[in-house]
């Protein structure tokens, strides 16, 4: 009230726009193997530390900066990705981006030393299904009327195949 008995009030509505201030990546594992799924979640916060709903993109790059994986989703939603068989071991960088912000995390792809073995009409097929060179002596054991152990030195790069023809190394029969 003033000296004349007048009084008044006023109100106004206004909206404070969310201003993106920080982006955070959460990665389910700091070390993964090829073909092993892992989850990434990205959160964006505004100036009041409230979450902002937004589209986000992630890119995974190798040690020389080449993109090897990419995906997109909404903030707060798990993005599940995995490296293909044979992905080179080493340190990788995951970068997320959204609303003009970006964040990066490093993690590693582990070494996997593994071969698969198949038999096809007397031929043993060895394939390096890991992500590092496989240089070992392989024991090929055949059991039947007569048993055989054949030692074979192999040196296979990831994805490489070696075939050993056993038809001349053992006598005919069921093994």
pLDDT in tens, 93-148: 999 999 999 999 999 999 999 999 998 888 899 999 999 999 999 998 888 788 88
Rounded Cα distance between 60 and 113, Å, is: 23
Q: Any long-range contacts for 114-122 (C-beta under 8 Å, 24+ apart)? A: 115/154, 115/156, 122/165, 122/166, 122/167
* Cβ atoms of residues 78 and 41 within 8 Å: yes
Question: What is the pLDDT, as a whole number, of residue 8?
Answer: 84
**Residue 50, CA distances (Å) to 20, 42, 57, 90, 145 in order:** 9, 14, 20, 36, 74
Task: Considering only residues 4 and 52, tell me which one the structure prediction assigns the higher pLDDT.
Answer: 52
Asked whether the predicted pLDDT for residue 55 surpasses 80, the reply is: yes
Rounded Cα distance between 166 and 164, Å, is: 6
Lowest mean pLDDT among 63-67, 95-99, 122-126, 157-161: 122-126
């Amino acid at each position: 009230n003033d000296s004349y008995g007048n009084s008044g009030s006023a109100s106004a509505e206004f909206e404070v726009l969310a201003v993106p201030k920080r982006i955070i990546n959460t990665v389910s594992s700091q070390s993964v193997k090829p073909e092993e799924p892992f989850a990434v979640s990205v959160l964006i916060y505004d100036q009041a530390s409230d979450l902002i709903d937004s589209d986000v993109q992630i890119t995974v790059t190798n040690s020389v900066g080449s993109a090897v994986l990419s995906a997109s989703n909404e903030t707060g939603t798990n993005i599940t990705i995995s490296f293909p068989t044979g992905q080179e071991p080493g340190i990788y960088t995951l970068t997320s981006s959204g609303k003009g912000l970006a964040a990066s995390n490093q993690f590693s792809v582990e070494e996997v030393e593994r071969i698969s073995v198949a038999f096809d009409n007397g031929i043993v097929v060895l394939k390096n299904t890991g992500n590092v060179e496989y240089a070992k002596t392989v024991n090929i054991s055949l059991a039947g009327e007569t048993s055989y152990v054949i030692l074979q030195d192999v040196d296979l790069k990831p994805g490489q195949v070696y075939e050993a023809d056993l038809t001349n190394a053992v006598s005919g029969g069921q093994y």
